Amino acid sequence: QQHHCETAGAQRKVRFHFDGSKVTHSQTPAELNMEDGDIIEVWT
């Protein structure tokens, strides 16, 4: 998440969501049951 904000130049607080739920900074793709091609949304 931090890497995305740094490379995108995001200076505001952003939230990451997957499958309708907020993603915490400590969650892994395995914990979220993510599969190839899944998308994490970034909300400002």
- Sheet containing 15-18: give its strands across: 21-22, 15-18, 41-43
CATH of 2-43, one of 3.90.1010.10, 3.40.190.10, 3.40.50.620, 3.10.20.90: 3.10.20.90
Check residue 34 and give its pLDDT.
Answer: 98
Written as six digits, the tokens of 40 are: 């994490």
Check residue 41 and give its pLDDT.
Answer: 95
Check residue 44 and give its pLDDT.
Answer: 79
**Mean pLDDT across the stretch 3-22?**
77
Q: Which residue has the tokens 């899944």?
A: 38
Any alpha helices (H) in 1-44, and if so which ranges? 2-8
Comparing 7 with 23, the larger pLDDT belongs to 23
Q: For residue 12, is pLDDT > 60?
A: yes
- Residue 43 DSSP SS3: strand
**pTM (two decimals):** 0.67
